[in-house]
A and B are shown apart, each in its own frame.
Chain A
Amino acid sequence: DAKTTQPTSMDCAEGRAANLPCNHSTISGNEYVYWYRQIHSQGPQYIIHGLKNNETNEMASLIITEDRKSSTLILPHATLRDTAVYYCIAKTSYDKVIFGPGTSLSVIP
């Protein structure tokens, strides 16, 4: 699996967009970018994934650069309930999910 790097922590004001970056410069052509999050003391929650096109669902948007070496997860209107650790993972469809340290996002009132 390609290694990903994320900032250790970020703050975001409530109601504003949260933009979480992820670098995956060694990503292979058949590896997707997955995002999960883990709210304190809960199991990880799947957010979104994509291969090369931008993706949007009811939770977030995923913007992948044209060279696929980096991506950004966007939470359009962050709420206090979005405070969590966010994990960016680059893997093929059938690879298992291996978690790195992730980004601890704090949404501030």
Chain B
Amino acid sequence: DAGVTQSPTHLIKTRGQQVTLRCSPKSGHDTVSWYQQALGQGPQFIFQYYEEEERQRGNFPDRFSGHQFPNYSSELNVNALLLGDSALYLCASSFLDRDYYGYTFGSGTRLTVV
């Protein structure tokens, strides 16, 4: 049973560019959350999607946007990239009933902005 898969695994972008990261949730999961993890820090909540709508949002600017598709997969888009956006971006999937033993993280996408 495949877990959470994220693509690409690594990405290098230039300041000002736009980037799209992708996530496929674990089979049977219906909720996808995105986190940003800066080097040496714990993950920070960006937003969560359920039924193709954003349910919750953390303290991130509007440059960060997302989407969830009917098959529950999700995308994270970041516009006008800044150097400070360099981080590991983690996707986590779960059931909406908050079964946290089922809250599964992917291996992440390492984004470097130069």
Whether A associates with B in a native complex is no
